[in-house]
Structure 1
Amino acid sequence: MGQTMKNLSADQISVGDRLPVLTVPVTPTTIVMGASASRDYQPQHHDHEWCIRVGLPGIVMNTPNQAGWMSRYITDWAGPMARLGRMKFRMRSSICPGDVLEISGEVKRITTDSAGCSWVDVNVEAKAGDRLATATMVTVALPSEQGGENPWNRKADRWLLAELEPFDEART
């Protein structure tokens, strides 16, 4: 049986809202396939023996793979009408096979640009146990039920990211 997709609008959320947690068991396959998909054939993403030899705890998840998990997390929460605008993250510690990521988020800011598109800043954290692995700030465009512009109908010259405030460095 199919699952109904939700279409979250900016009118349905508030600053301080907590997003549901996404649990991701990390396996060697998770890491190797993510690296392969992004054509990242560096040994730290597939060669366990090489990693141990150079002092790493094992193979590690690469940057595009982590970006993909963060993107999935936000779009699963916001629905298909949401459109990612920007993302900034800091990898604070390695993600390795055997880790169980708990990805969580909190709405930090909601703004509307001059064309009526709503923008939502979400602070996202990926933790492996008690350890913060990756801290991320994401800005996602959401439609507004009160007549705002659909982010997917917006042409490139109306993609007004320059109007947005920069990310708060203390949050990433």
Structure 2
Amino acid sequence: MTSMKTRAFADTRLGEQLPELAIPVTVTLINGGAIATRDYFAGHHDADAARELGSPHIFMNILTTTALVQRFVEGWAGPQATFKDIQIKLGVPNYPGDTMTFFGEVTERDEASNTLVVSLKGKNSMGNHATGKVTVVLPA
């Protein structure tokens, strides 16, 4: 059981900034995410194969990025938030040795359904790795 509390919809506001979340990008994170999502594409675990593709190193898959987006929003919203939609676009790759930092803000708020839209970016040293929005429902 977690001691983390879920935010109440009434305690949120339009324009509210989510706390930044910095995630070190490691070989273990990239490999583990690929294995966990059954994505055995060599560019996610084999540095030589990645270089043959023109990449300087292995790179993170979109499913791992999506999971980290959910972690970012859930860390702010709490464990009882209900995710309705996650829409992201990938930009620059995430390579080992970098850090991806998430930034987000509440950009829509529907009082009739206790629904929020969080717009977000996950940036690394090269620019935006992921941009998008997440729709969540919070308890009243």
- TM-score tier, shorter chain, comes to over 0.9
Find the counterpart in structure 2 of residue 153 from structure 1. none
Q: Which residue of 2 aligns with 1:131?
A: 127
Question: Which SS does the other structure have where 2:39 is aligned?
Answer: coil
- Supply the distance in 1 between the matched residues of 2:51 and 2:41 (Cα, whole angstroms): 14
Normalised by the length of structure 1, the TM-score is: 0.77
With CA pairs under 8 Å and 6+ residues apart, which has the higher RCO, 1 or 2?
Answer: 2
What letter corresponds to residue 125 of structure 2 in structure 1?
G
Q: How many Å apart are 1:51 and its aligned residue?
A: 1.0
The structure with more strand, counted as a fraction of residues: 2
Q: Which residues of structure 2 form unaligned runs of 5+? A: none
Deviations 1:3-33 (A, max 9, x none): 7312201111111110001110011010000
Provide the residue aligned with 1:143 in structure 2: 139
Larger Rg: 1
Alignment partner of 1:119 out of 115, 122, 135: 115
Residue type of the partner of 2:116? V
1:4 equivalent in alignment to 2:3: yes
What is the aligned partner in structure 2 of residue 160 from structure 1? none
Question: 1:85-104 to 2 correspondence within 5 Å?
Answer: 85-104=84-103
The CA deviation string for residues 141-167 of structure 1, in whole angstroms up to 9 with x for no partner, is 1111xxxxxxxxxxxxxxxxxxxxxxx
**Is 1:13 matched with 2:9?**
no
- Decide which moves more: 17-26 or 54-63: 54-63
Q: 1:124 Cα shift?
A: 1.2
Residue-by-residue CA offset, 1:21-58 (whole Å, 9 max, x unaligned): 11100110100000000100001100111111221121
Identity among equivalent positions (%) equals 31
Alignment of 1:76 onto 2:72:
no
Distance 2:10 2:137 in 1: 12
For residues 111-144 of structure 1, the C-alpha deviation after alignment (integer angstroms, 9 at most, x for no partner) is 144xxx3110001110003611110210001111
Query: What stretches of structure 1 move > 4 A for 4+ residues in a row?
Result: none
Alpha-carbon RMSD: 1.5
Distance 2:16 2:30 in 1: 31
Determine if contact 2:89/2:130 at 8 Å carries over to the other structure.
Answer: yes
Indicate the SS of the match to 1:64: helix
